[in-house]
């Protein structure tokens, strides 16, 4: 895959970078660190410029995120509620009220979540779906996505340019960061799920006592 990415960047320049990053946002297993660091290195041996690479990558990131955001918009709360009224609600131990609680939580903290998740591999792509499901304002979503991905792109492109022919060493370091970041995100998610179900259990118990 790395050779394929390098070939596209070499052949199509800025357009190729934007396309690769857009696809990477939709299909997270494609490594953005390879695309960005190699593109940074390419600025030292071709006519590509750092600012052009960063802007192209940011445009691609926003376009890819917009696709997943649109997917999330198609999953309406009403559809989720109907789904939870059936067997899936029983299996997952969730009720339609949980949809409202999740929506309320995202309304309070969704902006920070969308921004900071742009620095976590894999999660940086998938976060666009719940943002769409929560009906986050499209202007706010695009602004936060552009800012977060712009910073991520600047760091990796500049590192690729700084290390030059040794850009692959950056990929290895970023790969380690990715593993750690995803692991930490998974632990935090698990902690949030446990906290949520504990709070939900207490709320249900209090409701039964009142009855």
CA-CA-CA-CA dihedral for 45, 50, 52, 57, to nearest 10: 100
| Burial status of residue 157 (CB atoms within 10 A of its CB: 0-12, 13-18, 19 or more) | buried
Into how many domains does the chain fold? 1
Structure tokens at 134: 């929560």
Q: 2, 34 in Cβ contact below 8 A?
A: yes
Range of the domain at 109: 2-210
pLDDT value of residue 60 = 94
211 residues of the chain, pLDDT tens digit each:
567 778 888 888 999 999 999 998 888 667 788 888 888 888 988 889 999 999 999 999 999 999 989 988 887 666 665 655 666 455 444 555 555 555 565 666 778 888 887 887 777 777 888 888 888 889 999 999 999 999 989 988 998 888 877 777 776 766 665 666 566 656 665 665 565 556 656 665 655 555 5
Global confidence as pTM: 0.72
Alpha helices in 27-137 (DSSP H): 32-42, 50-74, 77-84, 87-92, 96-117, 123-126, 128-133
C-alpha closest to that of 124 among 53, 52, 41, 57: 57
């Amino acid at each position: 895959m790395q050779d394929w990415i390098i070939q596209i960047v070499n052949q199509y320049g800025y357009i190729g970078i934007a396309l690769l990053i857009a696809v990477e946002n939709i299909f997270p297993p494609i490594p953005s660190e390879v695309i960005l660091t190699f593109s940074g290195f390419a600025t030292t041996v071709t006519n590509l410029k750092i600012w052009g690479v960063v802007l192209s990558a940011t445009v691609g990131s926003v376009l890819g995120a917009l696709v997943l955001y649109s997917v999330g918009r198609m999953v309406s709360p009403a559809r989720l509620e109907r789904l939870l009224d059936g067997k899936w609600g029983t299996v997952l131990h969730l009720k339609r009220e949980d949809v409202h609680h999740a929506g309320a939580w995202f309304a309070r903290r969704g902006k920070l979540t969308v921004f900071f998740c742009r620095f976590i591999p894999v999660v940086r792509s998938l976060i666009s779906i719940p943002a769409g499901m929560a009906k986050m304002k499209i202007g706010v979503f695009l602004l936060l996505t552009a800012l977060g991905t712009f910073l991520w792109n600047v760091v990796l492109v500049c590192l690729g340019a700084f290390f030059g022919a040794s850009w692959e060493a950056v990929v290895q370091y970023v790969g380690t960061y990715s593993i750690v970041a995803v692991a930490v995100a998974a632990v935090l998610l698990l902690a949030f799920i446990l906290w949520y179900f504990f709070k939900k259990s207490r709320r249900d118990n209090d409701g039964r006592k009142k009855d």
